[in-house]
Amino acid sequence: MEMGREFPAEKTMIGLVANDDRYDYDIRTLLQAFFDNEKIVADTANVRMVFKVTFHEDKEHCILFTSPEGKVYERHFSGNYKDKMQLRNVVKNVVYDILCEYTGHTLPWGTLTGIRPVKIITRLLEEGMSSKAAKQHFLSAYQTTEQKADISLRVALREQSVLKDIAYENQYSLYIGIPFCPSRCLYCSFTSFPIKLYESMVEDYLTALFLEIDFASHAMRGRQLVSIYIGGGTPTSLSASQLERLLKKVEESFCLEDVREFTVEAGRPDSITLEKLQVLYHSPVTRISINPQTMNDKTLELIGRAHTVEQVKRAYVLAREVGFDNVNMDLIMGLPGETMTEVSHTLSEISRLKPDNLTIHSLAMKRASNLNIMKEQYEGMLYGTTDEMLRRADQVAEELSMQPYYLYRQKNIPGNFENIGYSIPGKEGIYNILIMEEKHTILALGAGASSKYVYSSEDRIERTENVKDVKLYIERIEEMIERKRSML
């Protein structure tokens, strides 16, 4: 790449070329984190900037970065590049240092681009490292901020304490998906269909789902079920009597003696009624979610939630009156039109309600979401998640006597932030931790549900997916069951 090259202003691609592609994914994810998902191509023609990576057998490796202004950054480093275990973090640190120098900023998670950063600290603790040393290693090996290292350690310690009695080998969790919602939220990428349009299919959906439940209850006989999660979609989009039949079916099909948690997402306040809450309360359900996402009416309208702040409060008060003593609330940081002012308002409203769990998400630009598809329309309104928002949320959680207990990251979160679950000790959503830890099988039923089979003695994880489309799920239910049978 020659110096002083002119980059045409209209080109927005990054060229990544390497003589060996084994680190391409790692370099790409870092580039994406710094340049907010700018397109990356394996070419040097018609691109705005170029990363050229050359590995050598007998001399130092070289990374050359040519910026859009034509400035060249050159770094050399050594090590056996064929040993990815050994060199992966070195390569990432070299790339990271170049990008920090060029952009003039750092990333909160440093070189970490994976979904489960806590797993790294957990492993270090399991290997016998002290908390202090594990945190120090995290800071120096991955260049995270002090705050991210600290929260990862707090989450790892909390997870260990919550999961200490779980014997993964013979236990499993169950997920049931109800893929209907009152309307589609702007940022949604889940399997979700508007209930009004799909009403005529709900009965057939439940019939197919009950067949899958029958299969699962037989196939898992002899294994202990420890947690159940009914999500979706919004399960409370079903009518009270459909919900009651579903819960009865679960109760009759599985032994619930060892179930430590049974969560139902009553997510959308516009789907909640007193009758449905009573159905849930008089079943084995132990935990529900009522999700405001924001406590600003203007934003709720903008993101297509079709409910008001007042409805959130009413649904929450109703749930408490019915008797629920474990209620989660989800919030999203970085929603369109929201800055620190709106987030502060939301957090102070939530702090008055005093839920038992608080889940803080950072807005992700999911490919399949309407937000991403129509992103031009929201240009100038997406101020993103900030460190300050997450710090304030952490502070509010602490004021509510909560501790962080699970954390994960997603692709396409501008600014490379994370999602964190907080809970009052003893009320943690165990299913949420189990799905992150990947230490036991999670059998997932319903349209779009993805099962994870953990064979711990072989250190192996396999997955099966159900089709997302409701009609196809109903038509091909036998095939969905067969996919599971082959795994079990």
Which residue ranges make up the site for ligand SF4 (CB under 6 A)? 181, 184-185, 188, 190, 192, 232-234, 267-268
Nearer to ligand SF4, 267 or 415 (CB): 267
State how beta strands 180-181 and 193-194 pair: parallel
**Shortest Å, Cβ 268 to ligand SF4:** 5
Tokens read off for 430: 């165990």
Find, among 86, 90, 87, 102, the residue nearest to 34 by Cα. 102
**Shortest Å, Cβ 184 to ligand SF4:** 5
Nearer to ligand SF4, 305 or 409 (CB): 305
Residue 120 CB contacts under 8 Å (≥ 6 apart), including other chains: 112, 138, 142, 152
Nearer to ligand SF4, 154 or 361 (CB): 361
**Shortest Å, Cβ 472 to ligand SF4:** 19
- Using the CB atoms, write b or e for 446-473: b if 16+ within 10 Å: bbbbebbbbeeeeeeeeebebbbebeeb
- Give the residues across from 229 on adjacent strands: 175, 263
In angstroms, the CA 29 to CA 51 distance is: 13
**What angle (nearest 5°) sits at the alpha carbon of residue 135, between those of residues 130 and 141?**
120
Find, among 171, 163, 169, the residue nearest to 224 by Cα. 171
Spatial contact of 309 and 345, defined as CB atoms under 8 Å apart = no
Nearer to ligand SF4, 49 or 185 (CB): 185
**Shortest Å, Cβ 291 to ligand SF4:** 7
In angstroms, the CA 319 to CA 330 distance is: 16
**Shortest Å, Cβ 435 to ligand SF4:** 16
Nearer to ligand SF4, 121 or 364 (CB): 364
Find, among 245, 284, 241, the residue nearest to 264 by Cα. 284
Nearer to ligand SF4, 268 or 409 (CB): 268
Residue 367 CB contacts under 8 Å (≥ 6 apart), including other chains: 189, 412
Q: In what helix (H) or strand (E) does residue 100 lie, and over which residues does it extend? A: helix 84-103
Tokens read off for 185: 């939220």
Nearer to ligand SF4, 48 or 268 (CB): 268
Nearer to ligand SF4, 53 or 444 (CB): 444
Find, among 390, 313, 392, the residue nearest to 353 by Cα. 313
Nearer to ligand SF4, 184 or 313 (CB): 184
Terminal C-alpha separation, the chain: 54
Spatial contact of 433 and 455, defined as CB atoms under 8 Å apart = no
In angstroms, the CA 46 to CA 115 distance is: 32
In angstroms, the CA 258 to CA 224 distance is: 6
